[in-house]
Structure 1
Amino acid sequence: MKVSNIPNTNIIYLIENYEALLFDAYGVLLNEFGVLPGAINLIDKLNNTNKPYFILTNDASRSVPTSSNFYKSFGLEIPEEKIITAGSLIYPYFQENNLKGSKCRVIGTDDCFLYVADAGGIVSDDDFDVLIIGASPDNYTFSSIEDLVNNLFRMLDVKEKVSVVLLNPDLLYPKSTDYYGIGAGSILLWLESFVEVRYPGQSKLQITRLGKPFKEIYQEAFRRTKTMNMVMVGDQLQTDIVGANNFGIDSVLVHSGLTKNDTLTGQNIYPSYTLSSIND
């Protein structure tokens, strides 16, 4: 498909033609410096008309209540029941995999620790069976990475494998229109490289990735909406668009975040539609 063949769309069309709308948060509704144009009016319109919508966010650094309050601080009146975070997926994952009571080392914010505790994990920095990578903390330093790597090596020296659960697969996220933060997914990339050097060819990490583009977060949206006539509006090809396409729902790439229109050229990933911003 040529980039020129991807149709442009607008918010009115999406509201009128889909039973439920799914939105990424960062790069679509807001960034680190504030709410993006049109976002407050859009959320108010959806709330006032009772249009089904959900926020599907890979941000695992905030709990659902914290996320709702955070959005409201920007004027986005998004209730808790409309928010599906990657972090919230850890509870069903622990239940399905009998991980309640497992010793877990957690990388992330205070809310990441709460997610793990609520799922039944026991936080333990020194001896652990499961490594939970929830977020890249603002105060995470090179020394922090060294400590984590050496702690992981000590575990792998005495265990056949260590389970790793990555809540947020994002490698990058937009802090503003031209400045990017390093996501939690990048921490796992580093760890995989270090482990391969230390234990070549041994496949010592048993990795589970939650959040977009993986199916669990879309399955939760389907469970709540009870329809496949949903559309995902996001700013990242590798997470929002790939995830929606693989799940079998339509996707909209909005150019207000990470992926700009000119970066579509040469890609083999295509959205159903493009959108300059949700203000269109």
Structure 2
Amino acid sequence: MNCRKFLDITADYPVIFFDSYGVLRNHRGLIPGAVETIASLRAAGKHIRVLTNNAARNPKAAADRLAYHGLPGIPASEIITSGATTRHFLEQKVKSGKVAYLGTPASADYIIGAGLEAVPVAEVDFNHLDDIRAVAFLDDEGYDMNTDVNLVINLLRRCRVPVVVANTDLLYPVAANEVALATGSIARLAEYVLGRKFVKFGKPTSQMFQMGLDSVALEFSAVSPGDILMVGDTLHTDILGGNTFGVATALVLSGNTRADTAEIEIEASGIIPDYICSSIGS
């Protein structure tokens, strides 16, 4: 497996899309060299965006989180979240009523906008379901895995309403070699059991990539997918999404994909990045 130096790869791309967790930071904190790398890209005139499947935080909160970990130079205007794409869908498609959700109140406040009432699945009145207009899988915390997943399955058996998934990640890391089920896994389980298809947001779907491109176009009007390098640590979200959208992709081995299994995972999945790097700092 041929690992390239990250800054050498970026030379040909005026726009860099970064995933956040596993790329800019991981369970140990900020990726070593991340601050210097971002500074070098800024000095070279690169346009930077962060595309994150974390639906629990709005862009400002995500920027504050990066600053807390030691990377203050990325403003909210450069962060695209899966929550933003989900919020846009709900604003366009669901005009009134209640949205039952799995997730935290903070994610519901951000994603489920004005004109709609956000109701945790655990508080839904099953005797009065006529005012439920949508169901949302928002993030990985804020609900009881043993009871609330069963509640949402039974709710969806009785309600034929749109179902949105704000975070399609299947797993999220909780320690160096440990992971937990993420929202995307719970949503897939519900889809399988119910025989339904939900509306999904976040990588690998195209909405976030399009929002990122549209955002860059405000300052670089001639931008096209060929100008963009997507940098991620997960084959099935970052790399697959980037490949599908037509941008170049770089897999880093500082997060979900480990150096000792990367080659096997690429071969087994058929998801092939254009480049492989140890991290953005090397």
- Report the TM-score, using the length of structure 1 for normalisation: 0.85
Q: 2:210 aligns with which of 191, 194, 219?
A: 219
Q: Check whether the contact 1:163–1:206 (CA below 8 A) recurs between aligned residues.
A: no
Q: Once superposed, what is the RMSD of the aligned Cα atoms?
A: 2.0
Q: 1:231 aligns with which of 207, 229, 232?
A: 229
Q: Check whether the contact 1:210–1:216 (CA below 8 A) recurs between aligned residues.
A: yes
Q: 2:255 aligns with which of 254, 257, 263?
A: 257
Secondary structure of the structure 1 residue equivalent to 2:162: strand
Corresponding residue for residue 134 of structure 1: 138
Report matched runs for 1:1-280 at 5 Å. Answer: 4=1, 8-47=3-42, 50-77=45-72, 78-97=74-93, 99-118=94-113, 120-124=115-119, 125-126=124-125, 127=129, 128-137=132-141, 140-153=144-157, 155-156=158-159, 161-196=160-195, 205-226=196-217, 227=223, 228=225, 229-260=227-258, 261-262=262-263, 263-280=265-282
Q: Check whether the contact 2:99–2:134 (CA below 8 A) recurs between aligned residues.
A: yes
Secondary structure of the structure 2 residue equivalent to 1:42: helix
Tell me how far apart the structure 2 counterparts of residues 191 and 206 of structure 1 sit (CA, whole Å): 9
Deviation for aligned residue 1:255? 1.1
Q: Check whether the contact 1:235–1:255 (CA below 8 A) recurs between aligned residues.
A: yes
Q: Which runs of 5+ in 1 are unaligned?
A: 197-204
Q: Check whether the contact 1:22–1:230 (CA below 8 A) recurs between aligned residues.
A: yes
Tell me how far apart the structure 2 counterparts of residues 255 and 264 of structure 1 sit (CA, whole Å): 12
Query: Which letter does structure 1 place at the counterpart of 2:85?
Result: L
Residues 91, 193 of structure 1: CA spacing in aligned structure 2 closer, same or farther, 3 A cutoff?
closer
Corresponding residue for residue 220 of structure 2: none
Secondary structure of the structure 1 residue equivalent to 2:198: strand
> What count of residue pairs does the alignment treat as equivalent?
261
Deviation for aligned residue 1:194? 2.9
- Report the TM-score, using the length of structure 2 for normalisation: 0.85
Deviation for aligned residue 1:119? 5.8
Tell me how far apart the structure 2 counterparts of residues 138 and 230 of structure 1 sit (CA, whole Å): 35
Q: Check whether the contact 2:23–2:252 (CA below 8 A) recurs between aligned residues.
A: yes
Q: Check whether the contact 2:56–2:138 (CA below 8 A) recurs between aligned residues.
A: yes
Deviation for aligned residue 1:48? 5.3
Tell me how far apart the structure 2 counterparts of residues 217 and 90 of structure 1 sit (CA, whole Å): 10
Residues 22, 75 of structure 1: CA spacing in aligned structure 2 closer, same or farther, 3 A cutoff?
same
Tell me how far apart the structure 2 counterparts of residues 18 and 164 of structure 1 sit (CA, whole Å): 37
Q: Which runs of 5+ in 2 are unaligned?
A: 218-222
Query: Which letter does structure 1 place at the counterpart of 2:135?
Result: L
Tell me which stretches of 4 or more aligned residues in structure 1 moved more than 4 Å.
47-50
